[in-house]
Amino acid sequence: MKLIEIFKLVSEEIYNYYTAEIFTKSVTIDGQVVNINFNLEKLSNISENQDFEKFIENIIEQVNHLRHKNQVQLEQENFKVKNFGGNEIILSSLYTAYESLFEAFKNIIFLSNRDANFITTSINEKFALRKISALSLTLVSKYVQLPARLKKNVDLEEIIEMVKELNTKEKFSEVEVITNQILEKHRAVLKSGEVICEGTIDEEYSWIQDVVKMAKVNAEVVGLLVYTEIYAYILKNNYYS
């Protein structure tokens, strides 16, 4: 199996996670439930790197369009800022999921060696552990820099504590156990739409800025999960050369 098949699989997993678990229940713009045009048949027929990149770029563009439409709602009279916040948290994390996938695809293909019938890569367990460690340190650093008023979400706080554990692991299988737990907590965060307590501050503009800050931290969680999933597949399929 070529490496591209791993990325196709992860891209489908991301889509299923957000559409089945999140979109249909949590995201509405202008009173309508939103969705992403994800052509599974087209994806399954992709075999060239360039075609896959175009497919993912199209999804990223769709998500950005939805984020813009969500932001425009702020101009509506009597629009609840809290609704913008919940949507932005979810949409920004979806954006980061596919951005991380796209970035990982280009980087890993660059590190790969093509053969006539398969692809091998220089990525081994040690490499994967270093990458996850770097991502986790960045995430914790961004969370620590948040003002105290934004650290009141219990699920997110528990996620950060689990992320800190990743740096102590010497086997990737141990990393997977923790990230699976993080995934369950993250699902709860997205479903609740309560990443920020709306009553923490009064000024609407400041509240929007806080949403953006929290969205960035939440997006880092997603990036970590996506990279872990990709590396897990690579290691399990013994692509290392």
Burial 208-228 (b: 16+ CB within 10 A, else e): eebbeebbebbbbbbbbbbbb
pLDDT at 202: 46
What percent of the chain is modeled with pLDDT above 70? Answer: 86
Of the ranges 21-25, 129-133, 214-218, the best mean pLDDT one: 129-133
- Other C-beta atoms closer than 10 Å to the C-beta of 114 total 11
Confirm whether 49 is domain-assigned.
yes
pLDDT band at 196 (very low <50, low <70, confident <90, very high): low
Q: For the segment 142-151, what is each residue's pLDDT rounded down to a tens digit? A: 999 888 877 8
Number of independent structural domains in the chain: 1
Domain enclosing residue 93, as ranges? 3-236
Confirm whether 131 is domain-assigned.
yes
Dist CA 189 CA 11 (whole Å): 21
Confirm whether 27 is domain-assigned.
yes
Confirm whether 31 is domain-assigned.
yes
pLDDT at 27: 81
pLDDT above 70 (res 191):
no
Confirm whether 241 is domain-assigned.
no
pLDDT at 239: 73
- Residue whose C-alpha is closest to residue 74's, from 64, 82, 66: 82
Confirm whether 7 is domain-assigned.
yes
Confirm whether 140 is domain-assigned.
yes
pLDDT at 218: 87
Work out whether the CA dihedral 174, 176, 182, 188 comes out positive or negative. negative
Q: Which residues pair with 32 in a beta bridge?
A: 29
| Kind and range of the H or E run holding 114 | strand 112-114
pTM of structure: 0.89
Confirm whether 136 is domain-assigned.
yes
pLDDT band at 201 (very low <50, low <70, confident <90, very high): very low
pLDDT band at 199 (very low <50, low <70, confident <90, very high): low
